Structure 1
Amino acid sequence: MRIHFIAIGGAVMHNLAISLAEQGHQVSGSDDQIVEPSKSRLKKAKLLPAQLGWFPANITEDIDAVILGMHAEAGNPELIRAQELKIKIYSFPEFIYEQSVNKTRVVIAGTYGKTTIMSMIMHVLRKLGKDFDYLVGAQLEGFDALVKLTAHNKIILLEGDEYYASPIDHQSKFHLFHPNIALISGVEWNESRSNISREEYFKQFETFIDTIVKKGTLIYNKDNTNLREIVEETSDCKINRHGYRLPEYSINKGVTYLHLGEERIPLQVFGKLNLSNIAGAYTVCEWLGVKRAEFYDAMKDFKSSIRYLEFVASHHECVVYQDFNYSAYKLQTSVHAVKEQFPAKALVTILELNPYDILDNNFLNQYRSSMDESDYAAVVVNREAIKEKNILLSNLEMEIKQVFNHKNFNFLTDVPSLENYLKSFNPLEVNFLFMISPNHNSINVVGLVEKLFKNY
């Protein structure tokens, strides 16, 4: 096939383009902005556009398909030309479904935990020597691309989300995959981060369940109240339903052990969210024919491949972890996980907040008392990341302190002040947890920790 990508520079788009070119398809693409690592990877694959911009002349009658990325707009001149020529236009989830129609499609969905569960399943299948295709939302350790799409593999693992499929297709992406096996890790509506109502958000997951193929399987987290209600609303679907719960576990000398009858499985990850994700990943693998002993043996050396309670460093008995901060719920669960794992050590939690989010009272209020379980708490709002210099952070300091209501609280507005704050602790006496903003990450945690440990 001859395939043209409009907005080829996107994370998934450029990975898909490279994968298709490696299969022998004739691939071209365009974009008005391409940044690293997309630029280098496209250049190496000889797919980097010669010139940035949108050019209708790129769209010719001999093109079999156009794949449209979200970075483009509905009025994109190349898109308009493709529509004039009546060329088939796909969103990337629509295209991937068409290419995997004869495969077993496993779709992992949910407000939290999608990528972690994907990485667990991929880790186990790889260790067992089972080949598979995949689409994942973040770079995972041991996998050199976000997309693998072949003609021969019988299984494809797909990370499914509820966002628009393309600028001209406002269906949710995960509605287009029609899974044989679907997992939902949990459903939480966040008012400050959602542009739709709670009812509409939940409805997207009901519709997702409706898209599971007849006699397919839904695997779902029975500990999540919202999800249980959604599953009950779809009781008419002719599918298998398999719920899972947080497994039993214990912690001994900083190691979490999963209980399997009398057996204790040592893990390199910890926290209730990770343990719940393991239960979900096992259930998927079980439906794919993986034996229980094989799964848990493979999980013994699994390390979080993305920044969910990611180990950064240790020095003597001090440990440092970092995590992405998506919500107050995520913050609370991560703080709890570290305190539960290391109860005898004081915890210092550093939370980075997007400087524009804190101007929204609804956003701030959800964080009320959210770091109570941490012994020391600091919020960093980096003024260097603020383009509108007239925003006065000093006016917000009192409000932020009132929201967090923590007895050992500090409000910091730049990296040097954060460095000084960290130096006020003896790292031999505390543990550190950095909760980093996924969209406005201005903190080099590794560099900070190296400086902190240098003199100890």
Structure 2
Amino acid sequence: MNLHFIAIGGSAMHNLAIALKKKGFVITGSDDAIYEPSASRLSNYGLLPKEMGWFENNITSEIDAVILGMHARPDNPELLKAQELGIKIYSYPEYVYEQSKHKKRVVIGGSHGKTTITSMIIHVLKNCNKEFDYLVGAQLEGFDTMIQLTDAPVIVIEGDEYLSSPIDRRPKFHLYHADVGVISGIAWDHVNVFPTFDNYKEQFDIFIDTIAENGALIFCKDDEVLSELVKSNKSGVQKIPYSVPAHEIKDGVTKLTWNNEQVPLTVFGQHNLLNLNAAWNVCKLLGIGDIDFITAIKTFKGASKRLEVIGKNDDSIIFKDFAHSPSKLKATVNAVKQQFPNRNLIAIIELHTFSSLNKSFISEYYGSLDLADEAIVFIDQSTFRHKNLEPYDENVVRKSFGNNKLKYFNDAKILEEFLSYINLKGKNLLLMSSGNFGGINLNILADNLLKHTHT
């Protein structure tokens, strides 16, 4: 098969290109800009385009199919040429399904926890020496790519609800046709695509209807919106609820209560315990026994950028987390505070996504930083311009978060200077963003803070 990737530099796209190259496909690709780490990884596999840009002559009748990335526009010249020649055009979720339609497909959906649940399942399957393929939204320790496609009988897919391609407005997770589906919870997101909560919620109802006739849905019964949705859904699939498993927190360690034993975990927080129980239920359906699951999950360190420790000493820890939506933010703040109740918590969120910066959506953050002892919001002013959104001031931010003590920064240099003077003794620092804090090097910041913390 000769495949051409339009917008090959995307996170999922370049990983799919590499996975298919490993499988023996002939791969070409194009993009108008490719950044690290995509550029180096594509280069290592001989897939980096020689020249940046879109070129009609990249598309010839020798190409069997085109895979179209979300970054491309509907008027992309290569796309138009492919349409003119009648070449089959896939979005990347469509092509993942094409490669996995004869496998058992496990699809992890939900507004939060998708990456962690998927990563937990993959970790357990690997530790149990099972053959499987996967698609996950983060680079995992011990795995070369974020996508693997082989002849394995099972594939575990992180099922994003965002659009599939510029010419396919269906959510990605509708296209995988799960045999086993998971929904971790429903909290409004992607307001640029789903302008109302009802419209957003509907996508999960449709997802349940896409699950195979003899399949199963595993869902978090603690989420009231989700539970009501599952109750009203007419699909005949098996519906398996899960909740927070029995546990205790002692001396900064969360222990799972199982079979009259206390099993110490590396991860913590109620949201991660829910994630763990979702993964456990999936693994049961895949034939993994409880003892094997417990043995494997003890060594799970967490997904990249999910409560990732970037610095610590005896009485301070600095975490980096991908949390950006209101539900993720609240869950992450609460997890750190509950795990370390005797330490003050400084929590910083960078509002970076289209949804979080949208003036009509920001009130969804109300109360999400309440458990932090010191709450800080950062918005890089240039982000408003890049996303073509109307800027607003700190009063709007404070009112939206419902926190008058909240500190607000819109300049990365001033934020970095402010943080450099913090005395972290007896405190934890939580840095949350799907962006990059205006280019602040968080690892250097963490090292300096711990080095200069007064004893």
TM-score (norm 1): 0.91
SS in 2 for 1:366: helix
CA contact (8 A) 1:316 1:428 kept: no
| 2:314 maps to which of 303, 313, 316 | 316
Q: Could you say which residue in structure 2 is the equivalent of 1:400?
A: 397
Query: 1:295, CA displacement in angstroms?
Result: 0.6
C-alpha separation in 2, matches of 1:295 and 1:84? 51
CA contact (8 A) 2:423 2:449 kept: no
Whether 1:410 aligns to 2:407 is: yes
Which stretch of the first structure deviates more once superposed, 251-260 or 200-209? 200-209
CA contact (8 A) 2:217 2:238 kept: yes
Indicate conservation of the 8 Å contact 1:326/1:438, yes or no. Answer: no
Say which is worse superposed, 272-281 or 349-358, in terms of deviation.
349-358
Q: 1:149 is matched with which residue? A: 149
Residues 355 and 386 in structure 1, CA contact (< 8 A), matched pair in contact too: no
Shift of 1:125: 1.0
Separation (CA, whole Å) in 2 of partners of 1:433 and 1:455: 18
Q: Structure 2: how far apart are the matches of 1:354 and 1:90?
A: 29
Q: Distance in 2 between matches of 1:354 and 1:110?
A: 20
1:241 aligns with 2:230: no
The answer as to 2:181 corresponding to 1:173 is: no
Alignment of 1:447 onto 2:444:
yes
1:290-369 pair list within 5 angstroms: 290-354=288-352, 360-369=358-367
User: Which residue does 1:286 correspond to in 2?
Assistant: 284
Quick check: 353-362 or 81-90, which moved more? 353-362
Change over 3 Å in CA distance of 1:252–1:291 after alignment to 2:
same
- Separation of aligned partners in 2, 1:99 and 1:405: 48
| Bigger mean CA offset, 258-267 vs 276-285 | 258-267
**Aligned partners of 1:300 and 1:25: how far apart in 2?**
38
For the pair 1:433 / 2:426, whether they are aligned, the reply is no
TM-score calculated relative to the size of structure 2:
0.91
- 1:87 is matched with 87
Counterpart-to-counterpart distance in 1, 2:357 and 2:5: 38
Query: Counterparts of 2:330 and 2:19 in 1: how far apart (Å)?
Result: 39
Question: Which residue does the alignment assign to 2:52?
Answer: 52
Q: Which moved more, 1:100-109 or 1:443-452?
A: 443-452
CA pair 437-21 structure 1, distance change in 2 beyond 3 A = closer
Contact 2:182–2:219, Cα closer than 8 Å, also in 1 = yes
Question: Size of the alignment, in residue pairs?
Answer: 451
- Mapped partners of 1:178, 1:386: distance in 2: 37
Residue pair 2:31, 2:52 contacting (<8 A) in 1 also: yes
- Listed as ranges, the matches of 1:1-400 within 5 Å are 1-150=1-150, 152-190=151-189, 195-235=194-234, 237-354=235-352, 360-383=358-381, 396-400=393-397
**How far apart are the structure 1 equivalents of 2:204 and 2:356?**
29
Alignment check: 8 A CA contact 1:105 1:180 kept: yes
- Which residue identity does 2:363 align to in structure 1? N
CA 1:126–1:75: 2 relative to 1, 3 Å: same
The structural deviation recorded for 1:284 is 0.4
Q: Which moved more, 1:100-109 or 1:4-13?
A: 4-13
**8 Å CA contact retained: 2:192, 2:354:** no
Deviation at 1:80, TM superposition (A): 2.1
SS at match of 1:337: helix
**3-state DSSP of counterpart to 2:448:** helix
1:361 deviates by 3.7
Q: Residue 400 of structure 1: CA displacement?
A: 3.4
Q: Measure the CA separation in 1 of the matches of 2:41 and 2:353.
A: 32
Contact 2:194 2:200 in 1 (8 A): no
C-alpha distance in structure 2 between counterparts of 1:419 and 1:128, whole Å: 44
Query: What amino acid maps onto 1:123 in structure 2?
Result: H
1:414 Cα deviation after fit: 3.2
Q: Which runs of 5+ in 2 are unaligned?
A: none
Contact 1:192 1:362 (8 Å CA) reproduced: no
Check 1:103–1:33 CA distance in 2 against 1; reply closer, same or farther (3 A cut).
same
Cα drift, residue 399 of structure 1:
4.0
Which runs of no fewer than 5 residues in structure 1 stay unpaired?
none
User: What are the Cα deviations for residues 66-113 of structure 1, in whole angstroms up to 9, with x where unaligned?
Assistant: 212122222222222222222222111111112111111111111111
User: Identity of aligned pairs, percent?
Assistant: 45
Which is worse superposed, 79-88 or 363-372? 363-372
- Which amino acid counterpart does residue 148 of structure 2 have in structure 1? K
Match of 1:283, SS?
helix
Query: How far apart are the structure 1 equivalents of 2:297 and 2:175?
Result: 31
Q: Which moved more, 1:183-192 or 1:433-442?
A: 433-442
Contact 1:66 1:88 in 2 (8 A): yes
- Whichever residue aligns with residue 21 of structure 2, its letter is A
| Deviation of the 1:384 alpha carbon | 6.8
| CA contact 1:206–1:233 (8 Å) conserved in 2 | no
Shift of 1:56: 2.2
Cα offset, 1:416, TM superposition: 4.3
8 Å contact from structure 2 (residues 5, 68) kept in 1: yes
Equivalent pair of 1:15/1:145 in contact (CA under 8 Å): yes
Aligned-residue offset at 1:365: 2.6
Q: Secondary structure at the match of 1:432?
A: strand
Judge conservation of contact 1:355–1:381 (CA < 8 Å) in 2: no
1:268-308, CA deviations, whole angstroms, 9 ceiling, x for partnerless residues?
11111100000000000110011111111111121112222
Amino acid aligned to 2:262: R
Change (3 A) 1:233 1:258: same
- SS of 1:47's equivalent in the other structure is coil
Mean CA deviation greater in 197-206 or 395-404: 395-404
> Aligned-pair distance for 1:220?
0.9
Summarize the Cα distance change of 1:447–1:280 in structure 2 as closer, same or farther, 3 Å threshold.
Answer: same
Quote how far apart the aligned CAs of 1:359 are.
6.7
3-state DSSP class of the match of 1:344?
Answer: coil
RMSD of aligned C-alpha atoms? 2.5
Contact 1:29 1:49 in 2 (8 A): yes
- Distance, in Å, in 1 between the alignment partners of 2:194 and 2:67 is 26
Secondary structure, aligned partner of 1:157: strand
What letter matches 1:121 in structure 2? I
